Amino acid sequence: MYIFAQALGVIVAVLCILAAQLKHKWQMLLVSMTANLLNGLSFFFLGGTLSAAVLCWMAVVQTSLFAYKAYVGKDITVWEKLIFLTIVIAVGIIDIKQVWDVLPCIGGVLFVIGTLCKKEQHMRAVNVANNIAWIIYDVIVGSTAIITQVLSLISNIVALYRYRCKGKG
């Protein structure tokens, strides 16, 4: 299962690089949905904290809903915001055994905040902080998902620059 989990990490890396480069929020969220599904499986098979996997799978539900709302031009309600933030915090603190187990919770909260941003550029900026939290966690648990997060971090920075300089974002 270890090799399978690491292979999933490679696929997630490609998806995360792609997501940051897409122009529209709903596109970014759909690709993120797939990446989170696979990333949750990777963490599960690696035997990391269950909260990391559950947070990824909860992000699948969240990104599906938010992608739909972004596509049809509907705002995310206050209740939806509160529900997802509460779930992320609750799931994140349930499985804390070591001090570093709080990092998936921090990453989850940053992910939710990023998906709540109306502008793609703001979403990318919050994703940079999210990447950093997950990079630290991945180093500690020995996941090749660190490659994903580093590449995603670079892709987010490139996209921030690319869309800012060309006035597209």
Cα dihedral angle (11, 133, 144, 122), rounded to 10 degrees? 20
Domain total of the chain? 1
Whether the model clears a pTM of 0.85, i.e. scores above it, the answer is: no
In sign, the C-alpha dihedral spanning 158, 162, 164, 169 is: negative
Q: Inform me whether the pLDDT recorded for 113 exceeds 90.
A: yes
- Chain segment 79-89, per-residue pLDDT in tens: 998 999 998 88
pLDDT at 130: 93
For residues 94 and 86, the answer to whether their CB atoms sit within 8 Å is no
Domain limits at 135? 2-165
DSSP character for 98?
Answer: S
Closest by CA position to 53, among listed 62, 63, 43: 43
pLDDT tens digits, one per residue of 22-78: 989 899 999 999 998 998 888 788 776 576 788 788 889 999 999 999 999 999 999
